[in-house]
Amino acid sequence: MEGILAVVVPCYNEEEMLDYTAEKLKGKLIELINQGKISRKSYIVFVDDGSKDQTWNKISELSKNCSIYVGIKLSKNQGHQNALLAGLMSVKNQCDMSISIDADLQDDINCFDAMIEKFYEGNEIVYGVRNNRDKDSVFKRFTAQAYYKILKSLGANIVYNHADFRLMSNLALEGLSNFSEVNLFLRGLVPMIGYSSASVYYIREERLAGESKYPLKKMLFFAFEGITSLSVSLLRFITILGGIVSLISIIMLFYILIRHFQNQTISGWSSLIVSVWFLGGIILFSLGIIGEYVGKIYLETKKRPKYIIEEISQSK
């Protein structure tokens, strides 16, 4: 029995892309249906993320004329990640697998075949990973690479060069729905769900029409969001810094004492410098300890699932 595929597309001011995207996706779905790879009940969900242009009008027209399209309109602009989550949660239990893809179709829809194949092979999550960054500017390539490295070293497990183009099975969607956090960074959360996963590789194209909704400012904000929402390691830096300063203050103490007994100091200098270093060290260290607790509180408030059961085996 072929599975039902739901394609989820977040759209923000995409009136220029929408007709083209809808046509292309529909063509792809029909092709997959005809090849017997997915069920006839497969469909495409457009999530309008509070667009200010004709996006919603176009979506509602499409969905009225053809049952393969479903439209969801958010009450206001909530950002890409929230729009995507809204779409994914709306298809949960209404499909066997979902594929999320941006409205500009920069990601290769011909990967659907490989993704679906990997799903049938037993993978609950299939990541679309871009193979090329040669069209990006040197700056973007460098910053992207550095960013992945930093995230990894902070303990966040994210798939290199993977954005939000991925297949998730209904089981994986169920898993995702257990995460109730408000600060969303999906590409960091999805690996936390677990289950077996796979990757497919593709070449990412340039945007055909309209402009990127991620200007540098928004991208930097998003990058910082990724770090702070996934990891509390930054707080630990304060503790480490406090430790280092305290250590330096001990070295300084010896240096100052030597200078003092060599009579090479102005009166009052020794006591002043010793207290500056010593107090600095203690303050930073104490901040770090408070930071450790804040980090714990932060993780507690996220109420992340402590585990997700994949299977239970027992004899009746």
Site residues (CB under 5 A) for Mg ion? Answer: 102, 104, 106
79 binds ligand UDP (CB under 6 A): yes
Q: How far apart are CA 85 and CA 183, in angstroms?
A: 12
Binding mask 200-219 for ligand UDP (x = CB under 6 A): ------------xxx-----
Q: Which residue in 42, 63, 100, 106 binds ligand UDP (CB under 6 A)?
A: 106
72 binds, among ligand UDP, Mg ion, none (CB under 5 to 8 A by kind): none
Which two three-digit tokens encode residue 141? 């390539």
44 binds ligand UDP (CB under 6 A): no
Q: How far apart are CA 277 and CA 275, in angstroms?
A: 6
| Cβ atoms < 10 Å from Cβ of 297 | 11
Window contacting ligand UDP (CB under 6 A); options: 4-12, 29-37, 118-126, 142-150: 4-12
Residue 163, φ and ψ in degrees, nearest 5:
-105, -125
Q: Tell me which DSSP letter residue 3 carries.
A: B
Secondary structure of the chain: what % helix, strand, coil (to 5)? 50, 15, 35
Q: Which residue in 80, 118, 166, 187 binds ligand UDP (CB under 6 A)?
A: 80
Smallest gap from Cβ 273 to ligand UDP, in A, equals 50
Identify which of residues 46 and 285 has a Cβ nearer to ligand UDP in the complex: 46
Under a CB-based contact definition with an 8 Å cutoff, are residues 55 and 63 in contact? no
130 binds, among Mg ion, ligand UDP, none (CB under 5 to 8 A by kind): none
14 binds ligand UDP (CB under 6 A): yes
Residue 51 Rama label (left phi>0; alpha psi -120 to 50; beta):
beta
Residue 156, φ and ψ in degrees, nearest 5:
-90, 130
Where do contacts with ligand UDP occur on this chain (CB under 6 A)? 10-12, 14, 49, 77, 79-80, 83, 102-104, 106, 212-214
